[in-house]
Structure 1
């Protein structure tokens, strides 16, 4: 049976009153064998009435009976102990020291600890009964082994045992810590470690393994996934920590592992204080806010409470999508949703004059390498001249912090995309020398799941029955998930200096062929792989640093910085005239 919160809290208060009564009677019996005078019995009952009243009044005032704590938790035990001590001290001073009543001192000393133990015991029994899931439950349809007996594993186990809609039956835990070999959590034993995982899961009659390590690396997830699926079992994971930031973990968060879990999932250490200092209460403009990076930047910046968040894009449908994801509505009837093209300097000027942004994240760009090889002038207009428009207006309107989103293709560029983004970095460095504040660029490689990305292409090809096209069997790329990249971009904005290019640590390059093979294996289909050859301007292996660049570590372990030679706008046309690719 499930009680309303008010009923449950009233029941707790009534239980505590009963505990004081029982404690006083037990103390009297234990100390005096109930052989006290009628006057003393009157004092004992008066003592019970006063302590019970104090317990309820002080407990209500301290919110003990207003849902301050979850019942049966360690935090509640500490609060309950403090409350009982306060009630006991007040009662003892009143009855023994000040009023000199006939209350036996033994009762005043023994009753409080007995009452406290009784109150706590009742709560722990209640929690135990809930943990055992009393009440009608859905029939279990999956036998599950949880990999990870730490905090995340315990939370998942507790949710599965207490959620009456859960269809999971927990048959064991897996953990690599030798000290947990004999551990039992809520009655569920640790049955093995990574090496014995397939055999232990099969012996326990499990059909599903859930990895409950939210901070697991992509490499580790890939290894466990191969073990589990190689044994014919289903493999599920918890979301990474950055996906659960600022909210409670839910049973519905458990999901199938995808390629982004394997290639990404590095834990990003974020200095929340530094980020809040430069974002909270500020007017922030994000260009390209409808794109994959821009929209995720918008969602993350929004969490830090900017005074105004202005989202600019030339695609109205994408603006609708990002507004819906942040605000839960997509009416597009507010002035902070701006439909404009960064090529249009006059339209941009009106935006800057109206909103007066203090911080700009410049994510608007054309990014598809083969398309820009065919239409280099479009890349020039958007990535170079459009960036110059945004930089110039930011400088004219006193923007204090400007973060230009760049790409690893700007390091020793061999393509139109790389050249135009390199020029955008140089223009940012030039502007940084002429303004107060920090104007910088942030450079990183491929992001998983962005629109038109390799993953979307591979999945569409697999869905269509193949073949999957890969340019070259040895080609490699750096990968990072969109949330990881955006979190580091925001962090870089807090620590970057004027004119710097901050380079995000992308980990180890990944062979595209291996990604294609893993996706095909997950699909369960027989799909051919066809090699199409490198496209014009495309590198076999990308670099995060140019040949003449030397990365220097910053205060953040995943961010380095390099210097780029500035280029003034007047030199652009000469560069363009000399550039064979432009």
Structure 2
């Protein structure tokens, strides 16, 4: 039906309701026989009421509302429109005829108008909900965790959406006052302890967590309970990710591994960061990588004078450049294609731009790959870092922040050993330089290129199997944004020579991670998708460490950032060993591992066949 026909039909129906209401009100007042003296008043009152009520309902836009979504606002509008229409009609009749409409007639007319006008609107909604909205078998039964405003909104939208894939059947809430109550005609059946039984009894296929104000720790606890079921998990964004409080089904996302970490959002000392970044020329090496590109995104809002994006791969630098120009159109940006192993090129970059703050994120980081290509790891992670650090010293940079790794602690891999040498290089350089050299050490980053999570997801999407190296292997994990926020914050605390260690939370078993990812994807581990153990790869540890034996741990102003006590490094001896390492690279690569052991005595070379 067209809009004009629908409005015309609605107006005609309302006019009919007005006349029926007035006529029945007079009939009831006079016990079924209207007195002849009141017939003319009835006709006049009917005509005037029809006009005033139509005008009043037009004024309150009762013909411009979608009644399938009617709520309290529509009820208030009906109340106002009918009240004004009845009162004004009564006054006009009295002004024209000098006689009053009987009070009994007025009250009954008012009551029946409210009932019929409102009833006619909500009757369509009831008919639509019961008859026209399909509740077919294709809809997945859904349990909503959170019987608050957000949960009610989500349930309402699901119920009103004709093509909804999910059908809410019950609520779960930890507030005992809501138990055994009903919201949107759906029962609140208990607290989180009832989730497992509810999923089994109600044949639940999906669970949606709909409390945006929950802390990450609380979300993690709820997910731990939900993991005991076969239902697929979904969650709405956290409260600070929602815009203007608008929550719809479109905002629901799958629960991901990040939600399991149980850590709240990092709080930043914005003033301290702005002091050393604002209005400064900032260089980011490895700007096209996972950490480097996130550094670009998070440093840009602090208004650097100029942001230098340096990388070896043109495609990745082009991608982050386009994103930055789109997101921060007023930012002064320079893109630099350069290899940090090229000393002359790095010197030229520093001579041209004179960066005041350097974030050195460029590195080879893949452990098994570097075991097969040790010389490349040394050239990039050791000599590349040496080139950038010495240029920062020579051209008077104020701060130099090295992105390091927990694999540098008691390393068992080429990659970890080269990162430890990089730490030693900047610590030795700091003692004789005006530049404040610091390193920031953290573990695995969720979602970074080449990390285990994207690899597992790809295997799941292909139907498995998911390969895990060892059932007891554990790792520390952080999300890319929180790791980078803490890196930037650590730079504000730099005095020179420190190794900052980020609080990674509790370590995570890789096997548990794989099982959770399979469940979050809607499958059952070992049934729908198998897990196979491939064995520990060359250079890998069973578990990672964050501190060497010589390093003590002291706190900073930030509860997630700690300082490892700087170790005493003889710069002359280190430079001598670095020169020997350079000679080994060019003349006798067969002795490369032995030379690395001399520089890093804690390096434990493990040959895995």
Length-normalised TM-score, structure 2: 0.64
Deviations 1:508-534 (A, max 9, x none): 111112222233344426333333332
CA distance in 2, matches of 1:462, 1:343: 38
CA distance in 2, matches of 1:505, 1:532: 30
Q: CA deviation at 1:272?
A: 2.3
Q: What is aligned with 2:56?
A: none
Q: CA deviation at 1:341?
A: 1.0
Q: Using a 3 Å threshold, how does the CA distance of structure 1 residues 174 and 279 change in structure 2: closer, same or farther?
A: farther
Q: CA deviation at 1:145?
A: 5.0
| SS class of match (1:450) | coil
CA distance in 2, matches of 1:496, 1:383: 22
The answer on whether the counterparts of 2:150 and 2:211 sit within 8 Å (CA) in structure 1 is no
The answer on whether the counterparts of 2:227 and 2:516 sit within 8 Å (CA) in structure 1 is no
Query: Which moves more between the two structures, 422-431 or 286-295?
Result: 422-431
1:434 equivalenced with 2:432 (yes/no):
yes
CA distance in 2, matches of 1:187, 1:473: 46
CA distance in 2, matches of 1:517, 1:206: 20
Q: What is aligned with 1:353?
A: 351
| SS class of match (1:306) | coil
Query: Which moves more between the two structures, 429-438 or 557-566?
Result: 429-438
CA distance in 1, matches of 2:517, 2:373: 32
Query: Which moves more between the two structures, 552-561 or 213-222?
Result: 213-222
Match of residue 573, structure 1, among 561, 578, 585? 578
Q: What is aligned with 1:505?
A: 503
Q: CA deviation at 1:371?
A: 1.7
1:540 equivalenced with 2:519 (yes/no):
no
The answer on whether the counterparts of 2:286 and 2:360 sit within 8 Å (CA) in structure 1 is yes
**What is the correspondence of 1:184-203 to structure 2 with a 5 Å cutoff?**
192-199=190-197
The answer on whether the counterparts of 2:150 and 2:210 sit within 8 Å (CA) in structure 1 is no
Match of residue 493, structure 1, among 491, 494, 519? 491
CA distance in 2, matches of 1:247, 1:398: 46
Match of residue 338, structure 2, among 331, 340, 344? 340
| SS class of match (2:594) | coil
Q: CA deviation at 1:231?
A: 4.6
The answer on whether the counterparts of 2:227 and 2:519 sit within 8 Å (CA) in structure 1 is no
Q: What is aligned with 2:528?
A: 526
Q: CA deviation at 1:250?
A: 5.7
| SS class of match (2:365) | coil
CA distance in 2, matches of 1:245, 1:206: 27
CA distance in 2, matches of 1:310, 1:165: 49
RMSD: 3.9
| SS class of match (2:392) | helix
Deviations 1:389-420 (A, max 9, x none): 11111122221121100000111122211111
Q: CA deviation at 1:386?
A: 0.7
Q: What is aligned with 1:552?
A: 554
| SS class of match (2:307) | strand
The answer on whether the counterparts of 1:198 and 1:228 sit within 8 Å (CA) in structure 2 is yes
Q: What is aligned with 1:120?
A: none
The answer on whether the counterparts of 2:474 and 2:508 sit within 8 Å (CA) in structure 1 is yes
Match of residue 387, structure 2, among 386, 389, 404? 389
Q: CA deviation at 1:361?
A: 0.9
Q: CA deviation at 1:366?
A: 0.3
Structure 1 unaligned segments of length 5 or more: list them. Answer: 1-71, 73-128
Q: What is aligned with 2:366?
A: 368
1:476 equivalenced with 2:474 (yes/no):
yes
Q: What is aligned with 1:106?
A: none
The answer on whether the counterparts of 1:320 and 1:330 sit within 8 Å (CA) in structure 2 is no
Q: CA deviation at 1:456?
A: 2.4
The answer on whether the counterparts of 1:367 and 1:417 sit within 8 Å (CA) in structure 2 is yes
**What is the correspondence of 1:322-337 to structure 2 with a 5 Å cutoff?**
322-328=320-326, 336-337=334-335
Q: Using a 3 Å threshold, how does the CA distance of structure 1 residues 423 and 329 change in structure 2: closer, same or farther?
A: same
Q: What is aligned with 1:100?
A: none
| SS class of match (1:383) | helix
Q: What is aligned with 2:108?
A: none
**What is the correspondence of 1:127-142 to structure 2 with a 5 Å cutoff?**
none
The answer on whether the counterparts of 1:241 and 1:267 sit within 8 Å (CA) in structure 2 is no
| SS class of match (1:382) | helix
The answer on whether the counterparts of 2:306 and 2:333 sit within 8 Å (CA) in structure 1 is no
Q: Using a 3 Å threshold, how does the CA distance of structure 1 residues 527 and 499 change in structure 2: closer, same or farther?
A: same
Q: Using a 3 Å threshold, how does the CA distance of structure 1 residues 174 and 564 change in structure 2: closer, same or farther?
A: same
CA distance in 2, matches of 1:424, 1:250: 48
| SS class of match (1:360) | strand
CA distance in 2, matches of 1:232, 1:372: 40
Higher CA-based Rg: 2
Query: Which moves more between the two structures, 189-198 or 529-538?
Result: 189-198
Q: Using a 3 Å threshold, how does the CA distance of structure 1 residues 447 and 186 change in structure 2: closer, same or farther?
A: same
Q: How many residue pairs align between the two structures?
A: 446
CA distance in 2, matches of 1:400, 1:182: 63
**What is the correspondence of 1:433-472 to structure 2 with a 5 Å cutoff?**
433-472=431-470
Q: CA deviation at 1:335?
A: 6.1
Q: Using a 3 Å threshold, how does the CA distance of structure 1 residues 246 and 494 change in structure 2: closer, same or farther?
A: farther
Q: Using a 3 Å threshold, how does the CA distance of structure 1 residues 365 and 230 change in structure 2: closer, same or farther?
A: same
CA distance in 1, matches of 2:359, 2:501: 16
CA distance in 2, matches of 1:400, 1:246: 39
Structure 2 unaligned segments of length 5 or more: list them. Answer: 1-71, 73-120, 585-591, 597-609
Deviations 1:80-121 (A, max 9, x none): xxxxxxxxxxxxxxxxxxxxxxxxxxxxxxxxxxxxxxxxxx
Q: What is aligned with 1:236?
A: 234
Q: CA deviation at 1:435?
A: 2.8
